Amino acid sequence: MQRVNVGHKALADYNSLIGRALAEEIRALAEPLKGRRMLHLSATAFGGGVAEIQYTLIPLMIDAGIDAEWRVIQGQEEFYDVTKTIHNALQGDERGLSDGQRAIFDGYNKLNADALADADEWDVIVVHDPQPVAIPEFVQTTRPRWVWRCHIDLSTPNLEVLDFLAPRLRAYDACIFHMPAYVPRGAGLNEAVIWPPAIDPLAPKNMALAPDDAAYIVDQFGVDVSRPLMLQVSRFDPWKDPLGVIDAYREVKRAHPAMQLALVGSMAHDDPEGWEYWNRTQDYCNEDPDIFMFSNLNNVGAVEVNAFQVQAAVCIQKSIREGFGLTVSEALWKSRPTIGGRVGGIVAQITDGQTGYLVDSPEECARRTLDILADPGSTRDMTRRAKEHVRRRFLMPRLLRDWLALMHRMAGEETVALEVVAGD
């Protein structure tokens, strides 16, 4: 396994954003936990919301006095092909796993378990998502408590694949989900804890960026900054529905011929379908010069994503399945008019008609885009409410508070009420 270097962050830098009450609560929770050890395991150190969260959460834990570390598991293409199948199945895809795929999955989990020679040196080991979920099965430990953090939508899983994973999930002391609807019924979990993820308001992707600076950056990529822009930031994945976004854009363009569309995403090494869907999306653009596709391979990094979001007339996350969709909170935090699919964690971030719009089709997405363009005054009121909603619920210090509270709970100390669903 490879240790990830996360740099340094200070909780005090967030105090003006989160308020005194939460800052004091975090300090009170952290004091008795100083020196406790927590290890996080995940599949990748870049690309996607899980990695972005870890780059802030781990250094904030360290600043709070926790001896925290993040490691990335080992895997080859054959393993990630299997885990992508598992990911899709847990979100409802009908394809199951062959005996050979199951053997590959277990084999790589055992390989990584063998590499975890210091397991008994940690108080808590956190495993993120399905890729490393079987590691506890192959590790003999007596000290650590094991936690599984699920970042995907398990509301309508492929039951065959869920049954394959369920015995592994029962090995965990606690499993964490974004929403109660994601807790798999009948899996026999010891304990299910509910809390949403969060964004880092001080990270380059979300820090304050002047409109002129954003326009300058976006202009470097060939986008005409004098014309309106629709934007979706997401992986190139069928669940994110970029083809549906293109359909919505084409409908809007009939009324606003100057409209442009940018699809911006990152290509992660644990997503082997990414290039396939990139190519499919590119073909669907049909060489429209006003549709732009960018990724981290086009030098679009965190600051560039920030600039595109600030520059956009409308930010979209038209997912048809979504674990949470932190790009929604990112856009709302920047006070951008935002439209999201009526699925998963997006509905926790957008109150339809109050902080943004929820849609069920490309046609509805187009209509809501036209509404935003037609009524700037109402849109400004909506974006102000949306930013405050994110400040109260979806900023990183609140997530740190939840983790500290869970550490107390696992030590038998109820200090802060967490939403807990009894395992069944």
Rounded CA-CA distance 325/364 in Å is 19
Concatenating the DSSP letter of every residue in 127-150 gives EESSTTTTGGGG---SS-EEEEE-
Q: What is the pLDDT of residue 333?
A: 97
Place of tokens 């699925």: 343
Q: What is the pLDDT of residue 272?
A: 65
Instruction: Give the separation between CA 149 and CA 141, rounded to whole angstroms.
Output: 19
Residues 286 and 249: beta-carbon distance below 8 Å: no
What angle separates helix 77-90 from helix 99-115, to the nearest 10 degrees? 110
User: Left if phi > 0, otherwise alpha if psi is -120 to 50, otherwise beta: which for 306?
Assistant: alpha
Both structure tokens of 154: 């398990």
CA nearest 178: which of 197, 157, 191, 198? Answer: 197
Cβ neighbours of residue 26 under 8 Å, at least 6 residues apart? 11, 64, 397, 400, 401, 404
β-strands 419-422, 191-194: how paired?
antiparallel
User: Quick check: do 2-198+396-422 and 211-393 share a fold?
Assistant: yes
Beta strands in 275-344 (DSSP E): 291-295, 314-317, 338-341
Residues paired with residue 293 on neighbouring β-strands, in sequence order: 263
Q: How far apart are CA 245 and CA 232, in angstroms?
A: 8
- pLDDT for 275: 80
What is the model's pLDDT at position 396? 96
CATH number at 2-198+396-422: 3.40.50.2000
Per-residue pLDDT of the chain (424 residues; tens, 9 = 90+): 899 999 999 999 999 999 889 999 999 999 999 999 999 999 988 767 888 899 999 999 999 999 999 999 999 999 999 999 999 999 889 999 999 999 999 999 999 999 999 999 999 999 999 999 999 999 988 889 999 999 988 999 999 999 999 999 999 999 999 999 999 988 889 999 999 999 999 999 999 999 999 999 999 999 999 999 999 999 888 889 999 999 999 999 999 999 999 999 877 655 667 788 899 999 999 999 999 999 887 889 999 999 999 999 999 999 998 889 999 999 999 999 999 999 989 999 999 999 999 999 999 999 999 999 999 988 999 999 999 999 999 999 999 999 999 999 998 877 666 888 755 5
What pLDDT is recorded for position 423? 54
Of the candidates 74, 65, 179, the one whose C-alpha atom is nearest the C-alpha of residue 83 is: 74
Which CATH number describes the domain made up of 211-393? 3.40.50.2000
Q: How far is CA 26 from CA 10, 176, 213, in A?
A: 13, 20, 35
What integer pLDDT is reported at residue 44 of this predicted model?
87
Match 């990695």 to its residue by tokens. Answer: 51
**Residue from 315, 239, 305, 246 nearest 277 by CA:** 239
The domains of the chain are located at: 2-198+396-422, 211-393
Q: Is 34 exposed, middle or buried (0-12, 13-18, 19+ CB in 10 A)?
A: exposed
